[in-house]
Amino acid sequence: MHAPIAGYAGKIALFTTHALVCTVYQRDRYAPQPNRKVCILTITHDRIMKKKWEDYRAPGYFDELITEQGNPRIAARKLVNHFSKLSDAEMSEFFAAAELAIREMGISFTVYSEGSNIDRSWPMDIIPRIIRASDWRRVSAGLIQRSKALNAFINDIYNRQKILADGVIPAEIVLDSGNYRPECAGVSPKHKVWAHICGTDLVRDSDGQFYVLEDNLRVPSGVSYMLENRVVTKRVLPELFEDCSVQPVSDYPLRLFKMLSSLSPRARKRPCVVVLTPGIYNSAYFEHAFLAQGMGAALVEGNDLFVGDDECVYMHTVAGPERVDVIYRRIDDDFIDPEVFRADSALGIPGIMRSWKKGKVAIANAPGCGVADDKVIYAYVHKMIRYYFNEEPLTRSVKTYLCHDAADRDYVLENIAELVVKPANESGGYGIMVGPHSSKAKHKEFARLIEENPRNYIAQPTVALSTAPTYCDGEIQPRHLDLRPFILQGADSWVTPGGLTRVAMRKGSLVVNSSQGGGSKDTWILER
């Protein structure tokens, strides 16, 4: 068995409530007590930020913490009162302490730019986002319903295709999808679940209601940053955190391991679970390593695994081959098996599809689940819920125009300057055109792309994304944000209490992706 990845060193900052006293300790991030004092810095009180909070407004948008009248929302009162009492210098030092913790903990992401891989520290704002637990319970129920419907759809598509035969969804829309894998036909994974980990992107419109923007079912990322945001916040704001009843997220790795273990084809007390990564140059490698460590699972690359003569999957270890029960794969379908998909792939395992189809190994998320990840399919999820469960959807979706439909396409082309246009199968915010923030030349370019390949594009209204107070350039300013909770589905279903809040750090921007200048916040689900 591969040894777990070693923990990495971090720093902790402790603060008093008077003149700011910042004491920084070098420590192992999991050690119970700091062991070496590095420095002490004392800063006197200066200008209080209360006035800045009193003047804070986000006109035209739903703000997560502050009402239109300028008052803290009920759930946010303690947080707003805490921050409004801080001086400019204290805010600056809290921000610096968070940045220091992020650097020392090694929390990073990779940006692909002009052929180069650029590693950057994870951008995080220190003012948490707050959502009431009562609101979140309704959202969670809707997300579980949606995840079950998507899985029912995927299982149907690769077996009976009843939803197509009944005309609920046009067959050509599904079967022509770039993510439909005919190689998966006839397979029904354990529990009939294909997308075991789903990252669903939510937005809040000006009415304060949550809407589903898109579903990410193939290899959704970001959960490690949700967990690390919480670690950093608890270190920088320990008193405030203790004073609020914040629902925990730290048990995610344990819940993930439990769910993955439930997929094992063998009845074992502790199945052999591995995390399959493309390697250190992947943009999400930090997350792969983080989750492997958190679960006590082996972090492997393709050449660490092989398919034996018995068509079981084995892992090379110093003690000899060890059979693998469950693979949490973080590579795309195209690269997972060179015998079936891309023959030139050096990332996958030859024969793994044979092993999976014969039930010798479980793969999460299952190959082929991306057929429901297609942004065109997104427009039909409400119909899926009604079709499979005879239920009304508990969560709303953003209005979506399908460019393959003649009437929708005409509307999009006539109103392209006011719409957000997205390719069907891109991720990470790439290939998107935000009409109101784009040039006439960009509008013409996307109109041409739509006319050339209408099946590959959808359009949505420009949602008035909610805002939250964010510390930018020494000021408290409104910034737009979204939310990616994570849904685990195996024998049971579970939703993270909150998720990864992504923030458009540039003023007026709606682009929240970290690869394009976005940041993040800790998300607090409060019981009271």
Q: How far apart are CA 430 and CA 185, in angstroms?
A: 30
What the block records as the tokens of 224 is 């490690």
Residue 460 vs residues 202, 319, 424: alpha-carbon distances, Å: 14, 55, 12
**Under 8 Å between Cβ of 45 and 87:** yes
Tell me 417's DSSP state: G
Q: Which residues, 6+ apart, have CB-to-CB distance to 459 below 8 Å?
A: 400, 401, 403, 408, 412, 416, 419, 420, 421, 422
Among candidates 407, 524, 420, which has minimal Cα distance to 463? Answer: 420
Residue 471 and residue 49: Cα distance in Å, rounded?
11
Alpha helices in 108-236 (DSSP H): 133-157, 162-165, 171-175, 223-236
Going along the chain from its start, the domains and CATH numbers come out as 9-129 (no CATH), 399-461 (3.30.1490.270)
DSSP class of residue 361 equals: S
Would you state the structure tokens that stand for residue 220, as one six-digit string?
A: 């959704």
Q: At residue 205, does pLDDT exceed 50?
A: yes
Write out pLDDT tens, residues 234-283: 998 898 888 888 999 999 999 999 999 999 999 999 999 999 999 998 88
d(CA 127, CA 479): 12
Q: Is the pLDDT of residue 139 over 60?
A: yes
Please identify which residue in the block is written with the tokens 């190994």: 361
Task: Tell me the mean pLDDT in the region 7-17.
Answer: 33
Q: How does pLDDT run across 277-293, given as a tens digit for each residue?
A: 999 988 889 899 999 99
Q: What is the pLDDT of residues 150-196, one digit of tens each?
A: 999 999 999 999 999 999 999 999 998 889 999 999 999 999 999 99
How far is the C-alpha of 462 from the C-alpha of 408, rounded, in Å? 16
Count helices and strands in the chain by DSSP H and E runs = 16, 26
Cα separation, 100 vs 33, whole angstroms? 18
Yes or no: say if 111 and 513 are a contact pair by the CB < 8 Å rule: no
**Residue 31, CA distances (Å) to 277, 287, 289, 350, 524 in order:** 28, 21, 19, 42, 25
CA 124 to mean position of chain CA atoms: 15
Distance CA 110, CA 401 (A): 33
pLDDT over 70 at 35, yes or no: no
**pLDDT tens sequence across 451-502:** 999 999 999 998 889 999 999 888 899 999 999 999 999 999 999 999 999 9
Residue 264 Cα distances to 284, 306, 522, angstroms: 25, 18, 33
For residue 428, what pLDDT is reported? Answer: 56
> Residue 23 phi/psi, 5° resolution?
-115, 120
The confidence score (pLDDT) of residue 102 equals 81
Which residues, in sequence order, are CB contacts of 526 under 8 Å at separation 6+? 75, 130, 131, 132, 133, 244, 245, 246, 247
Give 409-463 pLDDT, tens digit per residue.
Answer: 999 999 999 999 999 876 655 688 989 989 999 999 999 999 999 999 999 998 8
Which of 49, 217, 210, 65 lies closest to 127, judged by CA?
A: 65
DSSP category for residue 519 = E
5 pLDDT higher than 70: no
Across the chain, mean pLDDT equals: 87
- Which residues neighbour 38 within 8 Å (Cβ) at sequence distance 6 or greater? 11, 24, 25, 26
Any idea how long the chain is?
Answer: 528
Q: Are 241 and 526 in contact (CB under 8 A)?
A: no
Quick one: tokens of 265?
Answer: 């084809």
289-339: pLDDT as tens digits: 999 999 999 999 999 999 999 999 999 999 999 999 999 999 999 999 999
Task: Return the pLDDT at 220.
Answer: 92
Give me the half-sphere count of Cα atoms (radius 13 Å) on the Cβ side of residue 349: 29
**What's the mean pLDDT in 96-115?**
72
